[in-house]
């Protein structure tokens, strides 16, 4: 439980820290650069534990999806959106992340979500879109669309990472995922810095950039995946329901952003419907024998037994990287 809470706590500061970093760095540099910073830490961790720097070939497709999704994908989309909306505004929309992750996971696992799940998800989406439209003066703005796409992308990344974590351990998965997406994140970061160099760089902006790169992008996943494996996703995953409220608090405390009644009410509504949706459950589909052999087990946010995560070396196929 504590590890899961630490993971969510680290994730909840992402938007306020991103907003703070944008005072000196352009959004593209932040969105892609945080994955580069995290990859440097990941390589150091793998080298320090004498683990292979490059993953097994069989894991590459999933790692590419997970790495691009939770790295430059979510980070870039979120940073671009936060250049135009407040962290408080973004916090309400990210309340759908647990529902999006659950939906991606059950679909990836071949399960059949019960009607209650889809009703709750539709209500949550309606609340989020309605809030965004009201805030946008009667229309859905481009930053809101970017945030909704970021939420879906994040759900894909969590799910693919969960699949691989069952076999390789969550900390190896996030480290490998960050390294394999370097051919994308590094050139984008360099290009962004060259086109729009940092200006009026402050200590606060540097600290904020380092935070989003080192903590939620890398170390936070160590605690999050370990907590899921030890306590079970169905139990520990519900802690993420607190993330929007935590982000609202951090935004007000660190940035001085105002949290109005509409924002607070929308956040509460999203948390409630997401909690209902996660408790709705899903019926397991009956795959054919061939499909059962070809589809790997998924960490389902709806029904997963605890899995201990060992930090001891696990033998993998292929030559060490």
pLDDT above 50 for 299: no
The 3-state DSSP composition of the chain as helix, strand, coil percent (nearest 5) reads 75, 0, 25
pLDDT above 90 for 201: yes
The pLDDT of residue 251 is: 93
Residues β-bridged to residue 159: none
pLDDT above 50 for 308: no
Q: Would you list the domain boundaries of the chain?
A: 2-283
Q: Tell me the CA distances in angstroms from 111 to 141, 155, 280, one per residue in order.
A: 34, 16, 13
For residue 113, the 8-state DSSP code is E
The mean pLDDT value for 148-173 works out to 85
Q: Look up residue 244 and give its two tokens.
A: 């929007």
How would residue 289 be classed by pLDDT, with cut points 50, 70 and 90? very low
How would residue 161 be classed by pLDDT, with cut points 50, 70 and 90? confident
The mean pLDDT value for 110-117 works out to 65
Q: Tell me the CA distances in angstroms from 289 to 52, 106, 164, 294, 295, one per residue in order.
A: 34, 19, 21, 9, 10
The pLDDT of residue 272 is: 81
The mean pLDDT value for 267-292 works out to 59
How would residue 15 be classed by pLDDT, with cut points 50, 70 and 90? very high
pLDDT above 90 for 294: no
Average pLDDT of the residues of the chain: 80
Q: Look up residue 202 and give its two tokens.
A: 């402050």
How would residue 35 be classed by pLDDT, with cut points 50, 70 and 90? very high
The pLDDT of residue 162 is: 76
The pLDDT of residue 306 is: 37
pLDDT above 80 for 291: no
**Nearest of 235, 272, 314, 281 to residue 117 by alpha carbon:** 281
The pLDDT of residue 300 is: 35
pLDDT above 50 for 254: yes
Distance CA 103, CA 265 (A): 24
The pLDDT of residue 287 is: 41
The pLDDT of residue 50 is: 94
How would residue 16 be classed by pLDDT, with cut points 50, 70 and 90? very high
Helix H or strand E segment including 317: none
Among 37-51, 191-205, 226-240, name the one with the lowest average pLDDT: 226-240
């Amino acid at each position: 439980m504590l590890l899961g809470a630490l993971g969510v706590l680290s994730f909840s500061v992402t938007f306020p820290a991103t907003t703070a970093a944008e005072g000196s760095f352009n959004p593209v540099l932040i969105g892609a650069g945080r994955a580069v910073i995290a990859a440097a830490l990941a390589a150091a961790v793998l080298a320090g534990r004498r683990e292979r720097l490059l993953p097994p070939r069989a894991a590459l497709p999933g790692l590419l999806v997970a790495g691009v999704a939770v790295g430059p994908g979510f980070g870039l989309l979120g940073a671009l959106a936060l250049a135009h909306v407040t962290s408080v505004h973004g916090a309400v929309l990210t309340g759908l992340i647990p529902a999006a992750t659950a939906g991606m996971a059950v679909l990836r696992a071949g399960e059949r979500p019960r009607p209650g799940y889809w009703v709750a998800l539709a209500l949550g989406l309606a609340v989020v879109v309605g809030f965004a439209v009201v805030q946008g003066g009667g229309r859905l703005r481009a930053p809101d669309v970017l945030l909704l796409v970021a939420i879906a992308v994040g759900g894909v990344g969590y799910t693919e990472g969960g699949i691989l974590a069952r076999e390789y351990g969550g900390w190896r998965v996030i480290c490998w995922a960050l390294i394999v997406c370097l051919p994308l994140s590094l050139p984008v970061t360099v290009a962004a810095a060259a086109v729009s160099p940092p200006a009026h760089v402050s200590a606060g902006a540097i600290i904020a950039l380092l935070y989003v790169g080192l903590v939620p992008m890398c170390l936070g996943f160590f605690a999050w995946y370990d907590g899921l494996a030890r306590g079970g996703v169905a139990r520990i995953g519900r802690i993420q329901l607190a993330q929007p409220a935590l982000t609202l608090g951090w935004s007000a405390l660190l940035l001085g952003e105002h949290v109005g009644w509409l924002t607070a009410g929308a956040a509460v509504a999203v948390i409630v419907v997401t909690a209902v949706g996660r408790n709705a459950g899903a019926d397991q589909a009956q795959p054919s024998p061939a499909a059962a052999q070809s589809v790997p087990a998924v960490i389902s946010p709806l029904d997963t037994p605890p899995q201990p995560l060992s930090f001891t070396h696990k033998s993998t196929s292929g030559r060490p990287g």
